Amino acid sequence: MAEKQYLIDALSIEEPWRIFRIMAEFVEGIDALSEIANAVTIFGSARVQPNNPYYKKAEYLAHRLAEEGFSIITGGGPGIMEAGNRGAAEAGGKSVGMNIHLPFEQKPNPYANINIEYNYFFIRKVMFVKYAMAYVVLPGGFGTLDELFEALTLIQTRRIKSFPVILMGSEFWQGIIDWLKSTVLREGNISQDDLAIIEIIDDPEEVVKYIKKYVIL
């Protein structure tokens, strides 16, 4: 009983300090990104290797966007994130990596020329949305889906200004789109306008054109 009470007291003492750590992460992130403009955030799996076609697409896309004057933001880890940072850096652009501390998978890639470290997912996601003018989402897992649907929810509920949300990889995403139409839309849980937030484009050059159409540099 005494041990249990000690644990409760320890957690109670810890809570106020956690608030300060959260505030510090927000301040550090905002300070580091204060000069970032015209940013496109690229999401996707941390598990793909450099020989994967999606890695190559992400790298090429980031390179082209950087050439057009866009900054690139990724989650700062391996896989698609590395590809995005790599393409931007090799084009001489601003390559932002917002890494999250995890016990596996998420190690910082060497291609981000602006690095930010986070302990809290929710702060990191706020920063993705705050500084992005467009999202490009390639195939990924739970984290990628979380980041995608966070943006869709904020745009749908008008908590943020609408911006392009582009899915690359129609063969990967089509099943989700079909389900949204056949089940979620049919049940009346979303509207046709909500579905219109999403655009599926496979060709990197077409993605660049689409973003430039909606974003004036």
- pLDDT at residue 105 in the model: 60
Number of Cβ atoms within 10 Å of the Cβ of 136? 30
- pLDDT at residue 76 in the model: 95
User: Does residue 156 or residue 3 have the better pLDDT?
Assistant: 156
- pLDDT at residue 14 in the model: 67
- pLDDT at residue 8 in the model: 47
List strands edge to edge, sheet with 132-137. Answer: 114-118, 95-100, 71-74, 39-43, 132-137, 165-167, 198-200
Residue 178 scores a pLDDT above 70: yes
- pLDDT at residue 6 in the model: 40
Question: What is the rounded average pLDDT of the residues 52-68?
Answer: 98
Of 130, 171, 174, nearest in space to 39 by CA: 130
Residue 204 scores a pLDDT above 50: yes
- pLDDT at residue 11 in the model: 52
Q: Do the Cβ atoms of 127 and 22 come closer than 8 Å? A: no
pTM: 0.88
Mean pLDDT of the chain: 91
Question: What is the rounded average pLDDT of the residues 120-125?
Answer: 92
Q: What is the CATH class of 33-214?
A: alpha beta
Choice among 19-23, 104-108, 142-146 with the minimum mean pLDDT: 104-108
Which sequence spans correspond to the domains of the chain? 33-214
pLDDT band of 110, cuts 50, 70, 90: very high
Give the percent of the chain with pLDDT over 70: 91
Residue 199: phi and psi, rounded to 5, are -125, 130
What digits encode the pLDDT tens for the residues 2-28? 555 444 444 565 677 788 889 999 999
